[in-house]
Chain A
């Protein structure tokens, strides 16, 4: 009888250990709707999208990265990692040679099928707006074996965004912003992630949500809308006054504009954990515009 209880106790212990072992396993649902099982916390991670790289690092798992895509350049430590090509031309052989146990890629990457056929574990994620970003952070945190870190990161980000929102001076609050993402001109609308961040900061947008996230606008629209504040890359903002008909824009005349250099620009246009940094950049810009308002503002 004693041996039977002993056996049962050992059996139960074994069962408990097995069950505990099972809690390591993560089930992640990626952008393709596929469920990917990750039996153990991955130690060699390859990321093929800058925002995913940034997410991994923000989750304090930077040291687990063994390779990234060509365009991942933040934080500085990833610059020394092997670069495995861009979206279209991933270097499959090199990637496989790194023996990763998890590959993070955008859903549109052409390499996914090939990598999966070669037996690698691929999770396809691509954050396109604020909501996506949260989901992606959570999924990656889960995949890396530390769901709590994801929640913590998100909360930190929210806190930073709230802090940035608090810094926005009352004089510029609720003013209409025109954010140009590319020439000819493409603007960031309310429904884009940039637009969502601006909304969080209490700013308005000349481009309503109905026009989509990044519409190509008739330049007349911008002139008619007479935005209070203009934002864009340094080059774009510099050449705006020369555009036909844009001389009447008050924001240009009164110099109520922010031009972002290419480093900060990346943070602004990439949805990912740097959204908080983006919010801070935007807040810095708005603070700098807190000048004595003119009479007819």
Chain B
């Protein structure tokens, strides 16, 4: 069905699911590309134009256009009710917009069949609505469903992907325990592992750091950055603004619109961020290991 798993052998970093320009127009087999190609400045992995959705009387998403490129990881921030989760679910194709279109790897999401979409895009939901007595590693195995479908049998490559995802989220110690018996942080890591196990070229995560303690937050962000470097397009809705400012690019949302889009190094972006949150904090520059970082200091 898919090309031989050239990526699995000898790769300890998250497998490359690089999207290079020739693939952008058509089918991309995530496993076939064992190449960690630098992302081209060309076609975006995920593109949206004029997205709008009304939930009742509220304009949850109001004319959003954006492009996510492979090799970048983007943080999406904004106040409560800004429409971040709704935007993410629109981008993931889980909701139909009232207006606008989304292209995934150059294909119109509205007409893309669900299995193909699932192979190219992995989505992690916000609330922990996961509930069940199955073992954690079986939960993570679900991430391989897009690859082999409801009736296919998992092969060694699938098992390797599962093992790797559990390893990345440090969930291996409790992988045999029931999902319902895990603590909040452990569950989140398992669910994260599930999203990572898909090994999709586009990764959309809604509040992935919920319940995670600092070391695991750090591990997560490092993992996301590494995936991006290896060719994936990653977007994560984050509540913690300091973490968000460590991303390659930040999208600031307010009231259903994107009010700022740029690198954290961009002062205008930081100003917009402070403004959108009603000056509840200021952003200070910090020198850390020779690199400029930004920290959010709340005005108490």
Q: Do chains A and B directly touch (beta carbons under 8 Å) in the complex?
A: no
Which A residues are within 8 Å of any B CB, using their own CB? none
Which B residues are within 8 Å of any A CB, using their own CB? none
